[in-house]
Each structure stands twice: as structure tokens, then as C-alpha cells.
Amino acid sequence: MHKDIRLHGMSGDQTEYFVMVIGNEAYQRYFFNIVQEEDQLRIFSPGNELVISADGISYQGNGGYFCEYMFGVDQPSSDLAKPDIINRLVMYGACSDDAGSVRFSDRTSGSETFDNIFFEGNAVCNYFFFVHSNLLSRKLKNQQEELVRCLGKILKRSEAVGDERDDILISEIFPLLKDDSAQLFIVKLINRYHREYRNLFRSLYFRNKKISDDDFAKLVSMASKYQIDRYQQERIRIDVMY
């Protein structure tokens, strides 16, 4: 029976993170360290690493990131044609060729600022992940292809992603690895300012299915307080209404 360990913290005032490590031997592995002088949290397994810093993340190894689709998130035509696909999945080192087929490479390292993560992805919540398993191939590009085949279908269709039901998400994807010694690492990033704006708009809008002048003033005040730009405000409002 698998177990999970969860590490919760903040990067600045705006970005909240949850680090989840899942595996049958999760309690017996050392998986993180804090670099105090650089204000960094490093999460790792053999061959994989994700570092949370003050303004973003860096990563290397296998894995990728996923989020629930919302207005403004790039959606491939192949996903648009399938209404059951509700989440975006991006694998490190993957790109599409002229024929629309996905190609993988060993160049999987990179970095993203928090601003870009919440701009290109979901405005409120995004997930990053990587996997340690002795059943995976040695080459990174092969690992990436194997992970897509193993986890891709459920990651792109699970309602637990948008609902932020991490317990359900874990129960859906960890068994798919079919490796008793595997470790699954999931990092959830939340923009606290955007979440608070979304929750306020949701409560005001669904009360009367409209926004009064007084309600709008509350939204403007919060957006000004947290310096939420107009585009992100629009994305969040559209996501709540539709």
C-alpha cells in the first residue's frame, strides 16, 4: 500500500507550494533539502531535480507539468477535438513536428518564473511532477515517452486536477506506474492572490448571476491591492462563469 509525505510552504507572499512524495517506501527516502543562503527548496531523486526559489522554479530529469484548461491556455487542435480532455499536459523536452506528432529529446532541463507559470498555464493552480522507477529506460527521451503512455491519458482527463483533489489524483496515477518501488513526486503551485480574487468573484457572481456596482468595486479594490493585471482578471472571471 502506497504512502505519501506532504511538504507545505510559501515562496514569498504570493506563491504557495505543496510537495507530495508518493511510494510504498516514501517514509524511508530522503527527498529534499533547503538551501538557506539562496532561499531555495530542492526536491530530488536519482537523475531528477526540481528547485523552488524566490521567483520561480528550475528542473532537470524526467516529468513535466499539467493544469486544468482555462481561457488563455494554449490548447492543441488534437485536444480541442476531444471534449473529454480537460487538462493541459506538457512534458519536458517534447515538441511537435510538421506532421503534428510529438517528438521527445534528452534536453529536459529548464526554468520558469512564477509569473510565466501562472500566465501560460492556469492562473490559479499548476502541477509539476517527476518519477523515479527502475522500470523506466535509461535515456531521458525514452523515459518521457514511457511516462506519457503510462500517465498521459488520465492526467489530461482527471477532474481531480481542476478540483485540486490531490488525494484522488494520487490514487488515480500512482498505481499506473506498476512498480512497487517507484516514487512519484508532485509539486502543486498556487497563486494565492489569484485564488482569492477567483473565490471572491465566484461568491459574488453566483449569488445573483450578475455583478452589481458595489460588487465590482470590491473586485477592483482586491485587484488593485494585489496588483492583478486586467488580463488575468478577465481569464479568472471567464473561467468562473463558463
Q: Are 117 and 125 in contact (CB under 8 A)?
A: no
pLDDT exceeds cutoff 90 at 41:
yes
Question: Mean per-residue pLDDT for 132-143?
Answer: 97
Model confidence band, residue 98 (pLDDT cutoffs 50, 70, 90): low
Long-range contacts of 45-49 (CB under 8 A, 24+ apart): 45/130, 45/132, 45/183, 45/185, 46/132, 47/132, 48/130, 48/131, 48/132, 48/185
How far is Cα 173 from Cα 169, in angstroms, rounded to an integer?
6
**pLDDT tens digits along 46-87:** 999 999 999 999 999 999 999 999 999 988 888 888 999 999
All 3 cell numbers of residue 241?
Answer: 462563469
Question: Mean per-residue pLDDT for 97-106?
Answer: 82
Residue 47's pLDDT is 96
How far is Cα 136 from Cα 25, in angstroms, rounded to an integer?
18
Residue 185's pLDDT is 98
Residues with Cβ within 8 Å of 122's Cβ and at least 6 positions away in sequence, in order, are 67, 68, 69, 70, 73, 88
Residue 39's pLDDT is 87
Q: Using alpha carbons, select from 32, 70, 99, 238 the residue that is nearest to residue 162.
A: 70
How far is Cα 219 from Cα 236, in angstroms, rounded to an integer?
12
Average pLDDT, the chain: 95
Q: Is 195 exposed, middle or buried (0-12, 13-18, 19+ CB in 10 A)?
A: middle
DSSP secondary structure code for residue 191 in this structure: E
Residues with Cβ within 8 Å of 124's Cβ and at least 6 positions away in sequence, in order, are 118, 190, 191, 194, 195, 198, 236
Helices 192-208, 213-226: inter-axial angle, 10-degree rounding? 180
How far is Cα 118 from Cα 120, in angstroms, rounded to an integer?
6
Element containing residue 63 per DSSP (H, E): none
pLDDT exceeds cutoff 70 at 45:
yes
Domain ranges of the chain: 3-192, 194-241
